[in-house]
Amino acid sequence: MKSAIDKISSLWSKPEPVKKVAPPARVKRLEPSPADLALAKYSGDPAIVAAHAIWGAGRLWPADTAFEQRASGYFNLASDKIVGVLAAGTGAAAIGIANHLPTFVYGYDWRALAEVPGTQFVKESGHGAKVLLRTINLDTVIPAPRKCEGLIAIEPVLTRSQERMLDWLRLSVSGGGQIVLEEPSVDNSSGFDPMANWFADMDNKDCDWQGPGSRKNALEQAGFSVGRVQETTGGAVRVIREALDGVAAADAEICKAIELAPILEPVREFFEKEVNAARNRLRALESGGVAVYRYRAIKQRVGG
């Protein structure tokens, strides 16, 4: 006879054997194709992407880092003041200047498509607490949201649109504030060819070409006391030469990307325009047909 324990044990069903479950099949991770990588590298507005390919990330104009580093010598301001950077592009110049100043820096540019990539560039660089980019509207000449105690321009701005730029500067710089501008100057007797465009996005016939004396008078009529006017042609030549050194390599990379993703062809079209304009500037400066001058001026205070 079975013992009582055996009888009780027989009442329980035997456990089913544990079935081994096969591990889930690994999903093969799809790596981005070379075309996808090319599209990612050159995504964005083609004019801005092309400028970045030539001049570097965050820049729409050749970098003059020595000029940016000297910003602290132009402005002796406390940390609660504002310095504006005009023609700030997509942020690199404003960051370069902010690194040498205790003040907050506003970067201003008339190219509306530069603000979004520029803001992202500033954020990724870790300078968001000290640098802010804003688009300015020269058609209605709306002043800066807060007046600047100092302002420095990265590109020639009066040559682009002297009357409107002077109106904007007059409204956006506080009394006693200093501005620093660099502008090309044409000697009409030199035979300078107006068809060789100085800017990639603007015909020379639409530019405001003046000599340093006329430019100085225009600044004074706009309410600025012009101090030092200094020729800086040599520095401008150096900057363009250095910037153009990497053009061949950048062009080769873009051509390779276009082979993979033909939709990128507009990038190369803007690339060629930008490079051609830079070479035009270099030829004009080297020939003596154009000189570059730096203007330092103080906004006159109301009543004196």
Instruction: Note the pLDDT tens digit of each residue in 31-71.
Output: 889 888 989 999 999 999 999 999 999 999 999 999 999 88
Q: What is the mean pLDDT of residues 180-189?
A: 84
Residue 202 is given by DSSP the state B
pLDDT given at position 178: 96
Give me the residues paired with residue 66 across strands: none
CA dihedral (261, 263, 267, 273) positive or negative: positive
Q: Which H or E element spans position 248?
A: helix 247-260
Tokens of 211: 């000599």
Residue 47: Cβ within 10 Å count? 21
Q: If we measure between CA atoms, which residue out of 169, 185, 167, 188 comes closest to residue 177?
A: 169
Q: Is 19 helix (H, G, I), strand (E, B) or coil?
A: coil
pTM comes to 0.86
Q: pLDDT > 90: what percent of the chain?
A: 72
Q: Is 155 helix (H, G, I), strand (E, B) or coil?
A: coil
Tokens of 152: 């420095």
Per domain, the residue ranges of the chain are: 34-299
pLDDT at 8 over 50: no
- Cα separations in angstroms, 194 against 59, 121, 197, 198, 200: 26, 35, 7, 9, 13
For tokens 């710089």, the residue is 173
For the segment 191-245, what is each residue's pLDDT rounded down to a tens digit? Answer: 555 557 899 999 988 999 999 999 999 999 999 999 989 999 999 999 999 999 9
Tokens of 46: 């083609």
pLDDT given at position 21: 63
pLDDT at 3 over 60: no
pLDDT given at position 186: 83
User: Which CATH code fits 34-299?
Assistant: 3.40.50.150
